[in-house]
Amino acid sequence: MTAIQENLAHVVDDHADHHHEHPSWLAHHFDDAEQQYDSGKLGMWLFLVTEVLFFSGMFCAYALYRNRNPEVFEFCSSFLNEKLGAINTGVLLFSSLTMAWAVRAAQLRQHQLLVGMLGATLGCAAIFLGVKAVEYSHKWELGLLPGKLYVAQLDGAHGPHKGYLEFICTVPAIVTALCALYAIYAFATKSLFHQRVAGPMLVAGLCFFGGVGLGQYLEAQEEASKGHGGHAGSHEHHAMVDGHVDHGSHEHAAAPDSVHAAETKTAAEIAASAASAMGGSPNVYVSPTELKTPNADVNQRSMAGLFFSIYYCMTGVHAIHIIGGMIVITWLIVKAAREEFHEQYFGPVDNVGLYWHLVDFIWIYLFPLLYLIT
């Protein structure tokens, strides 16, 4: 709609002369900057409420099933690498700081700093996703998949499928390559605007691979420590020694020699019969003897699978929120590069900041619930 049309409409409705200054950043239906800011802020808070409720469904599911099978959750959370989780927690906390700083910079018209801070936030998000990619691909290789896809082989060796990490990295690699091309273009044309946008994007793309490298290094360290009898992965090591029982036919499995092992086998059988009584196919492996008894029957689809369903749902939906956040932060970088923000108009930065803090906050709950509590 052109300005003329808008003016005409006003004249037609009502004679009142109503043409006080209406700057471009103020939407036509708002009276003043304060009203616009308040509306945006309230809207964002309400949206955050819906986000919290959205996640609360999964937290409820977590609480319900944890309450029902605490031993499954204890057993399964030992597969999660706390070091990677802790690093991601730190990265996200730091990104919250840079985001808050960005809001300050927007209010003070420090455009260069604003772009920098938004870029830093974007980079942290990328590191987070890189580490997450390593975690996911490692679990997929072990067959630690959700629900009925769960096919864990706890013999320490990786399963037949490899290369999940490369698969996950394809899209980020393409995006990073495009960012690099864009950066080349920006520096070639010497456009400050394009440089301000392309720089942070390229850095973020590279950060993702930094995160992947970091994750792989730590994961490899973890594996190495397993080999030397480190506690975290010891169950996998022992499982390899015991070998695993064939699908279903427990009588014919090599009879373990100790009474303790015999009990384990019986428990496994009960679990198998329970599984088959429920209609699911029994998929039982002898599990670590060191872990306390109930663990014997938890490494099966109908038990551990559920934990990993909840794990993937919660962290997956959280990761989608991170990606969504990255997209809006990129949009903010574009606006910031155009120097649109000032002390009267910084609502978008403020609101995205609120969203980012919430995403961070949810991770702060996810990390202990999934990785730490035993």
Burial class of residue 114 (count of CB atoms within 10 Å of its CB; 0-12, 13-18, 19+): buried
Instruction: Write the DSSP symbol of residue 149.
Output: G
Residues 97-136 that bind another protein (CB under 8 A): none
Alpha carbon of residue 79 to chain centroid = 17
β-bridge mates for residue 342, sequence order = 345
Pattern 241-260, another protein, x by CB under 8 A: -------xxxxx--------
Side-chain-facing half-sphere of 63: CA atoms under 13 Å: 7
Among 32, 49, 178, 220, binds another protein (CB under 8 A): 49
Q: Is 189 in the site for another protein (CB under 8 A)?
A: no
Applying the rule CB under 8 A, the residues between 131 and 170 that interact with another protein are: 146-149
**Residue 64 Cβ, how far from another protein at the closest point, in Å?**
6
Interface residue with another protein among 11, 171, 177, 184 (CB under 8 A) is 11
Q: Count of residues binding another protein (CB under 8 A)?
A: 75
Of 75-94, which residues contact another protein (CB under 8 A)? none
Nearest to another protein of 55, 367 (CB atom): 55
Give the nearer residue to another protein in terms of CB position, either 146 or 294. 146
Is residue 270 involved in binding another protein (CB under 8 A)?
A: yes
Nearest approach, Cβ of residue 44 and another protein (Å): 9
Q: Is residue 248 left, alpha or beta, with left meaning phi > 0 and alpha meaning psi from -120 to 50?
A: left
Q: What is the 3-state secondary structure (H, E, C) of 303-339?
A: HHHHHHHHHHHHHHHHHHHHHHHHHHHHHHHHHHHCC
Q: Exposed, middle or buried: residue 373 (CB in 10 Å: 0-12, 13-18, 19+)? A: exposed
CB of 147 to another protein, least distance (A): 4
| Minimum CB distance to another protein smaller for 184 or for 320 | 320
DSSP structural state of residue 294? G
Which one, 208 or 285, has the nearer CB to another protein? 285
